[in-house]
């Protein structure tokens, strides 16, 4: 079973994304910010396949986490989707250049998440 992590400071968004991923067959873990996510990632018992990541969070932002993740070759295979309220093209470009595989703007629908996962090769 594929393993995914949802990183967002909003408990509601984490719940929605976690439910969606579980319905699609993922085992999921959650984190409320980048620092917590890095700690969870470092202690994970099995490798992650996917991370859904918010941009705006306390302690360590999503873009800071993304850069740290992509600087560590242990996580080269992890697919990452930004799921954020940041709607400016410059931020989308920044995230994709930093190593995000996809970018979703909030508010989103389940179908949008599924379509992006399909594009990433994560679901059929």
Q: What is the mean pLDDT of residues 15-24?
A: 97
Phi-psi region of 25 (alpha: psi -120 to 50; beta: other; left: phi over 0): left
List the CATH number of the domain containing 76: 3.40.50.2300
pLDDT value, residue 44:
79
Identify whether 15 is part of a domain.
Answer: yes
Model confidence over 29-84: pLDDT tens digits? 999 999 999 999 988 778 899 999 999 999 999 999 999 999 999 999 999 999 99
Identify whether 58 is part of a domain.
Answer: yes
Structural domain boundaries, residue 98: 3-119
Using the predicted structure, report yes or no on whether residue 96 has a pLDDT greater than 90: yes
The model's confidence at residue 112, banded by pLDDT at 50, 70 and 90, is very high
For the chain, how many structural domains are there in total? 1
Identify whether 54 is part of a domain.
Answer: yes
What does the block give as tokens for 55? 């941009």
Identify whether 124 is part of a domain.
Answer: no
Beta strands in the chain (DSSP E): 3-7, 27-31, 50-53, 79-84, 102-105
Using the predicted structure, report yes or no on whether residue 22 has a pLDDT greater than 80: yes
In whole angstroms, give the CA distance from residue 97 to residue 91.
Answer: 10
Identify whether 24 is part of a domain.
Answer: yes
């Amino acid at each position: 079973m594929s393993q995914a992590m949802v990183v967002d400071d909003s408990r509601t968004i984490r719940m929605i994304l976690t439910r969606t991923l579980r319905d699609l067959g993922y085992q999921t873990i959650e984190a409320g910010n980048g620092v917590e996510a890095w700690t969870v990632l470092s202690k994970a018992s099995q490798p992650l396949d996917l991370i859904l990541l918010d941009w705006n969070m306390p302690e360590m932002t999503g873009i800071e986490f993304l850069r740290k993740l992509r600087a560590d070759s242990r996580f080269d295979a992890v697919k990452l989707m930004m799921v954020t309220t940041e709607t400016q093209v410059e931020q989308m470009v920044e995230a994709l250049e930093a190593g995000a595989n996809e970018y979703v703007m909030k508010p989103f629908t389940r179908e949008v998440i599924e379509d992006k996962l399909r594009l990433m090769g994560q679901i059929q």
